[in-house]
Amino acid sequence: MKTAIRFLVLSAGLMGLFAGCSEKLEPKPITYSQLLTGTEKKIWRLVSFEVVDEGKKSGVVPIQNALDPCRSDDRYVFYADESHKLEYLNGTTKCSTTEADTLFEDSWTMINSNATLEFVIPVFSGSILPFTIKNLTETSMTVEIYYDKIYVEPIDASYRFTFNSTTK
């Protein structure tokens, strides 16, 4: 009986101790921008693409099967800074011995309301294009560009690009 009373008193005391804590923990969900850039910068590598033509998928094509080896290992660095800096960097295989480590710098833009990411994929377009984010996690990103965003005439086709990241 004494043991049961002691347990109740101790339990009530602990409950009062925890009930006295007033700090409210509010979760802070990760945004698309944070997934894209991490806290400072994040490095992505294009790993595959797929063409969707009139609803028919071409099948996933590994990037090393589509590009010259000196381009298939290049990297994209998205920065979390205010200017939204984007760097396109050479991989370990360069196209020439005189080629710079940084191939070009630009910027990126994200529009969360319609999950659009605007940036350059130089080997496919060379200009800033609006890509729809199909999937974005800490380690994988798939974006899609529709032909009507590139060309004037309406064509029912699109490109899907998948990138991987090993940085947080």
Length of the chain: 168
Position 17 scores a pLDDT of 45
Residue 143: alpha-carbon gap to chain centroid: 9
Say if residues 138 and 43 touch (Cβ distance below 8 Å): no
pLDDT tens-digit series, residues 26-45 = 766 678 889 999 999 999 99
* Cβ contacts of 29 within 8 Å, gap of 6 or more: none
Sorted by where each begins, the domain ranges of the chain are: 37-165
103 by Cβ neighbours in 10 Å (0-12 / 13-18 / 19+) ranks as middle
Q: Phi and psi dihedrals of 66, rounded to 5?
A: -110, -25
Q: pTM score, two decimals? A: 0.77
Q: Which amino acid is at 84?
A: H
Quote the CA–CA distance of 34 and 88 in Å, as a whole number.
19
Say if residues 88 and 122 touch (Cβ distance below 8 Å): yes
**In the structure encoding, which two tokens stand for residue 113, read together?**
């309301």
Position 21 scores a pLDDT of 53
* CATH number given to 37-165: 2.40.128
What parts of the chain have a pLDDT lower than 70?
1-23, 27-29, 123-125, 148-153
